[in-house]
Chain A
C-alpha cells in the first residue's frame, strides 16, 4: 500500500515536470535545466558515495563528456543526439580503464586522485589546440533542436530521469547491499562473497557515464564550450553541496537539495550579484555543522522519533 502511494507521487511529480514547458517561459526553463543538471550530478556523486568513496572528479567526467560530444559533432560529423550517446559511452569506457588503477585506492588517496584526473583532462584538452580548440574552446554551428527551449528542457529532463532511474535501481537491487557492505566493512563484505572491485567498478562506470551524459546534454544545449567552462570546479563543488544539504546515501536527498539550493542560488544571484557565493558557502558550513544528515536525514529521524513516541503513548493507553 505504502509503495503504491510513493509510486503514485513519483508519477504525478514526473508528469508535472514533463508538462513544465506548457506553462513556463524560456527563462524559468533555463533555470530548471541548470537545477536538473546539478541534481543529476549530485545523484551520481551520491551513488558512488554509498560505497564510501568520495569522488572529486565529477567536473572531470562532465567536461570529458561535453568535449566528447561537441568534438564528435564538429570533427566527426556525428548527429548531435547520437553524440550524446557517444559521450555517455566514451565517459563510461574511460572510467572503466581508469577504474582499474584508481579503484584500488581508498579514502583521501582516492579523492585526491579523482581531483587530479579532472585537472589532467582539462590540461590535455587545453593543449590539444588543433583538435580541441585549445583554451578558446569550440563553437557548434547550431544548437541542438534549433535552440527550442521546450525541447532543450525535455532533453535535460530525459538525462535526469535516466539518472534517477539508475539511482533508484541501485537502491532497490543487490547493489544496495553490496555498496553498503563495502562502505561499512570491507573485510566483512569480502568474507561474505562480495567482489568489492567488481561492484566499485560497476558503480564508477555507471556514474561516470551519466556525468559525461549530462556534460554532453549541456554542451549541445549551449552550443559552445571551453576548458574552463567544461571543467569548471562548480560542477564538482555544487553537486557535493547539494547532496550534503539534501541528505546523502539516498536518491531523494540530492533531489531535495538541488531544488532548495538551486532556487536559493537563483534568488541570491539576483539579490547579491557579487556576494552570492559567500552566502552559498555559509549555508554549506552551517549544514555540515548542524545537520550532518541533511534535510532528508533529519526528516527521517524526526519521523522515526514521532513513530516511537506514538507507539509509546499507544502502549500507555492500553
Chain B
C-alpha cells in the first residue's frame, strides 16, 4: 500500500500556478526521485506535502488519513520529515541539541532519551563532536546534521531537498551510500530532489518529472531520461 499519495494537488500564488494537478504516490522502502528544471515546482511540492504551505486544491493522504490541511508539526509527528534546500541550522543550539529537537517534539521523548537516540543517529551518519556550535560545522556536516534531525523524528516518509548540492564528488558518493543504507534499514520511503542526474540514477528506484508545475513523466530513470517531453523540458522548446 502507498504510504503517501496526492490527488490533483494544486498550488497557485495569485495567478502563478506553481504546482498544477499533481497526483503521485510513494511506497514503503522506495526511493523516489523528483526532478525537473528550475522553477518546475519541486520545492513547492515538498512544501505542500510537508505542510509548510497549504494547497489551493487537491488532497494529500498519509497512510490512509487525509492530511491536506494538517499543520506541519502534526505531519512531522505523524511521520513525514524533511530537509531543506537552503540549510536551516538552529544556530543557538549545539549540534546534539539540533538533532534532539526532532526526537523531543515529534516523538515526545524526554531530554535524556532524545539525547541517546540523537547520539545513535549521529554515530550512524558519522557525525562527531556533537557539543560544537553549528557555526563550526562544514557544509557536509551541516547537511548530515539536518538529515540526522529529520531522522530523529523517526519518520516513515523522508524528503531530501537537494542535500547533495554543494558537496564534492567524494562527499556525494558517501552521502548516497548513507541515504541508501538508512532507507533500507528503516524501510523508509524517501523523496529526493536533485539536479545532478548521476545522483538520481544511482539513488532512485523511480522518478517523477515536473515541468511548470505539472507532472509530465514517471518511471525508472532509464525510461524517463529517454522520454522526449522530458528531454524537451530540460533542453528547452527550441531544441
Decide if B76 touches A193 in the complex (CB within 8 Å).
yes
In the complex, whether B52 has a CB less than 8 A from a CB of chain A is yes
Within 8 Å CB of A174, what residues of B?
Answer: 104-105, 111
Within 8 Å CB of B97, what residues of A?
Answer: 177, 180
Within 8 Å CB of A249, what residues of B?
Answer: 92
In the complex, whether A233 has a CB less than 8 A from a CB of chain B is no
In the complex, whether A209 has a CB less than 8 A from a CB of chain B is no
Decide if B90 touches A190 in the complex (CB within 8 Å).
no
Bound Cα distance A183, B90 (Å)? 9
In the complex, whether A142 has a CB less than 8 A from a CB of chain B is no
Q: Count residues of chain B with CB under 8 A from any CB of chain A.
A: 31
Q: Smallest distance from the beta carbon of B150 to chain A beta carbons, Å?
A: 8
Decide if B111 touches A192 in the complex (CB within 8 Å).
no
Residue among A178, A189, A191 with the highest chain B CB neighbour number at 10 A: A191
Q: Smallest distance from the beta carbon of B90 to chain A beta carbons, Å?
A: 4
Decide if B90 touches A184 in the complex (CB within 8 Å).
yes
Q: Which of B71, B89, B91, B153 sits near A192, CB closer than 8 Å? A: B153
Decide if B90 touches A191 in the complex (CB within 8 Å).
no
Decide if A189 touches B101 in the complex (CB within 8 Å).
yes
How many pairs of residues, A versus B, come closer than 8 Å at their CB atoms?
Answer: 81
Bound Cα distance A184, B150 (Å)? 17
Decide if B92 touches A190 in the complex (CB within 8 Å).
no
Q: Smallest distance from the beta carbon of B146 to chain A beta carbons, Å?
A: 9
Q: Smallest distance from the beta carbon of B147 to chain A beta carbons, Å?
A: 12
Decide if A184 touches B76 in the complex (CB within 8 Å).
no
Decide if A188 touches B153 in the complex (CB within 8 Å).
no
Bound Cα distance A218, B116 (Å)? 46
In the complex, whether B100 has a CB less than 8 A from a CB of chain A is yes
Decide if B149 touches A192 in the complex (CB within 8 Å).
yes
Within 8 Å CB of B107, what residues of A?
Answer: 193
In the complex, whether A22 has a CB less than 8 A from a CB of chain B is no
Within 8 Å CB of A183, what residues of B?
Answer: 92
Q: Smallest distance from the beta carbon of B120 to chain A beta carbons, Å?
A: 17
Bound Cα distance A149, B186 (Å)? 65
Decide if A192 touches B76 in the complex (CB within 8 Å).
yes
| A-B CB proximity, top 4 nearest | A193-B106, A193-B105, A190-B72, A188-B88
With A194-B105, A195-B73, A249-B92 given, can you name 8 additional A-B contacts, CB distance below 8 Å? A173-B111, A180-B92, A181-B93, A189-B73, A189-B90, A191-B75, A192-B76, A195-B71
Interface residues of B (CB under 8 A from A): 50-52, 71-73, 75-77, 81-82, 84, 88-93, 97, 100-102, 104-107, 111, 149-150, 152-153
26 chain-A/chain-B pairs, Cβ below 8 angstroms:
A173-B111, A177-B101, A177-B104, A180-B90, A180-B92, A180-B93, A181-B90, A185-B88, A185-B90, A188-B90, A189-B90, A190-B52, A190-B71, A190-B72, A190-B73, A191-B76, A192-B73, A192-B76, A192-B81, A192-B101, A192-B102, A193-B77, A193-B101, A193-B106, A194-B105, A195-B71
